[in-house]
Amino acid sequence: MVASITSNQRVSSSVPSPSSYCKYDVFLSFRGEDSRTHFACHLHNALTKKGIKIFDDDKELERGKAISPGLFKAIEESRFSVVIFLRYYSYSTWSLDELAMIVYSKNTSSAQMVFPILFEVEPTVVRKQTGSFHEAFAKHEEAFRENIKKVQNWRHALTEVANPSGWHLKDRHDVEFIQEIVKEISRKKGPRTLGILDDLVEMNSRLKKLRLLLDAESRDVRMIGICGMGGVGKTTIARVVYDLISYEFEVVFLPMLEKFRKRMV
């Protein structure tokens, strides 16, 4: 079935530009030596299949000895930061610097959320820096004895991030654990553009008509054509509809999604 909806009224000039949206849904933080090819990789794939946009530092940044301004910008432009804690996480000064940036960004932006994932480590070990974390910090305090404030910032960041409710693997299977994380992030992500509908001319009425045409409860395959002259708001309508309903689906068709995102940049 092919249906169409015509857009014949221009969108208000107050419509937010694509840059006003969060560029990424999730900033995934982890110690690369431990989890880049294992748990983090599987979680990354599962989130991507759900249509959740993840910042990929392998492709988008060059790693160096210091955290780059580009990395901090990526953290600021992400709606959620997900931090994976493994046993030897605190040995990596890069990961600790990244975590300190995440905490700073969270504390300066009321819209950002941080979720810890405790993989093979107990919450109290992270929060109080005991066990392997204690051993790592003994070395850091020696190495940074001329800049002990840096180490204190790392400790504070670990304590703050480990306090909120997150996910703890315990004795569960990785697959079940990842499914739970993806489901919860997708639920919290939800529709992203509800707050801007009042700024869009006639958007609510058009959305109502589109939702009827889509009929999400139906098992049919449906194609919706949005017709109109250039500049009348076709892409904006499509983006709003996607943001409102994509979280309801198990899988998003990724090639089409990436093509659509490039148009919005």
Number of separate domains in the chain:
2
Domain coverage including residue 249: 2-18+192-264
Nearest to 52 by CA among 225, 213, 243, 221: 243
Which tokens belong to 202?
A: 């006639």
pLDDT of 4: 38
Same domain, 176 and 127: yes
- Does 14 lie in the same domain as 53? no
Check pLDDT > 90 for residue 133: yes
Which helix (H) or strand (E) segment holds residue 142: the answer is helix 131-143
Q: Is 98 a catalytic residue?
A: yes
Mean of per-residue pLDDT scores for the chain: 76
- Mean pLDDT computed over 87-100: 92
Residues 101, 156: Cα–Cα separation, whole Å = 12
Does residue 222 share a domain with residue 181? no
Residue 241 has pLDDT above 80, yes or no: no
The pLDDT of residue 43 is above 80: yes
Give the pLDDT confidence score for residue 50 in this predicted structure.
Answer: 82
Instruction: Say if residue 27 is in the same domain as residue 91.
Output: yes
Amino acid at residue number 54: I
159 shares a domain with 30 = yes
**In terms of domains, do 43 and 146 share one?**
yes
pTM for this model (two decimals): 0.67
30, 141, 152 from 131: Cα distances, Å: 19, 16, 18
Burial of 245 (0-12, 13-18, 19+ CB in 10 A): middle
What residues contact residue 97 under an 8 Å CB cut-off, 6+ apart? Answer: 66, 67, 154
Residue 57: pLDDT band by 50, 70, 90 thresholds? low
Checking if the pLDDT of 262 tops 80, the result is no
Where does the pLDDT of residue 12 fall: very low under 50, low under 70, confident under 90, or very high at 90 and above?
A: very low
Q: What is the CA radius of gyration of the chain?
A: 21
CATH of the domain at 49: 3.40.50.10140
Q: Answer whether residue 20 shows pLDDT above 50.
A: no
Cβ atoms of 189 and 247 closer than 8 Å: yes
Q: What is the pLDDT of residue 3?
A: 39
**Is residue 172 domain-shared with residue 232, that is, in the same domain?**
no
- Same domain, yes or no: 68 and 197: no
Q: What percent of the chain has pLDDT over 70?
A: 69
Identified catalytic residue from 77, 98, 176, 202: 98
The partner residues of 223 in beta bridges, in order of sequence, read: 2
- What digits encode the pLDDT tens for the residues 117-132? 988 788 899 999 999 9
Read off the pLDDT of each residue in 172-190 and give the average, rounded to a whole number. Answer: 84
Last residue of a domain, one of 188, 215, 233: 188
Are 57 and 181 in a shared domain?
A: yes
- Asked whether residue 198 falls in the same domain as residue 183, the answer is no
